[in-house]
Amino acid sequence: MAVLGLAGVMPSLLGSVATTVVGIAMLFEGAATASRYQGLSALVPVREHEQAQVGGGLTVKLGGGAAGIALGVLALVDVEPTTLLPFASMVVGGAYVVSGGLHPALET
């Protein structure tokens, strides 16, 4: 969808839908990671600093996903999509960068 939007086929609509879908995917990824962490923490004792790292990463990932959904839906209903879509891109990308330490913390 985003590629079609970049090609000029209904860019505002397709960009808004793509942003909403990325937000939903990020939210589901955070929920799946939380479930995985809960299962792992029941089997292996978790140190306090690892728990804080995972908790912070999950909070950022879930919050970034929710913000991506909200901004995508607002752009979808035509509330300043030329402003909201670039902002949503920065929010979702920043959330992925900040939550980058989440998965290595789960591997130990």
Per-residue pLDDT of the chain (108 residues; tens, 9 = 90+): 767 777 878 888 888 898 999 999 999 988 888 777 766 666 666 665 566 566 677 888 889 999 999 999 999 998 888 899 999 999 999 988 888 766 655 565
The tally of domains found in the chain comes to: 1
Token reading at 106? 């789960």
- How far, in Å, CA of 64 to CA of 86, rounded? 14
Cα–Cα nearest to 75, from 59, 92, 58, 60: 92
- Residue 107 pLDDT: 60
Please name the residue that has the structure tokens 């792992």: 40
Q: Is 79 helix (H, G, I), strand (E, B) or coil?
A: coil
The domain of 54 spans 2-107
Total-model pTM? 0.78
